[in-house]
Copies of this chain bind each other. A is one copy, B any other.
Amino acid sequence: MALTLSADARMVRDTAMDFFREKSPVTELRRLRDTNDADGFSRRLWREMAELGWTGFLVPEEHGGSGFGMVGLAQVMEAAGRTLAASPLLGTALIGASALDLAGNAEQKDAHLPGLVAGETVFALALEEGPHHAPHRIATAARQEDGGWVLSGEKRFVLDGHVADVLIVAARTSGAATDRAGVTLFLAPGDAPGVACTRSIMADSRNAARIRFDAVRLGPEAVLGRVDAGADVLEAVLDRARAGLAAEMLGSAEECFERTVQYLKDRRQFGVPIGSFQALKHRAARMFCELETTRSAVLAANAALDARANDAAALVSLAKAKANETLHLVGNEGVQMHGGIGMTDEHEIGFFMKRARVAEATFGTAAFHRDRYAALNGY
Contact = CB atoms under 8 A, between A and B. Distances in A.
A35 to B, nearest CB: 43
A277 interface: yes
Interface stretch (A141-149, A155-163, A197-205, A278-286): A278-286
A27 B187 CA distance: 76
Q: Oligomeric state, in number of copies?
A: 2
Interface of A: 277-279, 281-282
6 contacts: A277-B278, A278-B278, A278-B279, A279-B279, A279-B281, A279-B282
A277 B281 CA distance: 11
Contacts of A277: 278
Contacts of A282: 279
Nearest to A283: B279
Among A277, A278, A281, the most chain B Cβ lie within 10 Å of the Cβ of A278
A277 B282 CA distance: 11
Contacts of A279: 278-279, 281-282
A244 to B, nearest CB: 35
Nearest to A282: B279
Contacts of A278: 277-279
A281 B279 CA distance: 8
A282 B277 CA distance: 11
A27 to B, nearest CB: 36
Contacts of A281: 279
A133 B281 CA distance: 41
A229 to B, nearest CB: 38
A117 to B, nearest CB: 50
A361 B14 CA distance: 54
Nearest to A285: B279
Nearest to A280: B278
A277 B278 CA distance: 7
A281 B280 CA distance: 12
A278 to B, nearest CB: 4
List the 6 shortest-distance A-B pairs measured between CB atoms, nearest first: A278-B278, A278-B279, A279-B282, A279-B279, A277-B278, A279-B281
A278 B284 CA distance: 14
A303 B281 CA distance: 43
A73 to B, nearest CB: 40
A281 B281 CA distance: 13
A279 B286 CA distance: 12
A278 B282 CA distance: 10
A134 to B, nearest CB: 21
A94 to B, nearest CB: 38
A282 B336 CA distance: 15
A336 to B, nearest CB: 13
A94 B287 CA distance: 47
A281 B278 CA distance: 10
A363 to B, nearest CB: 27
A281 B277 CA distance: 11
A222 to B, nearest CB: 43
A278 B272 CA distance: 14
A348 to B, nearest CB: 28
A358 to B, nearest CB: 26
Nearest to A281: B279
A57 to B, nearest CB: 44
A102 B281 CA distance: 55
A247 to B, nearest CB: 32
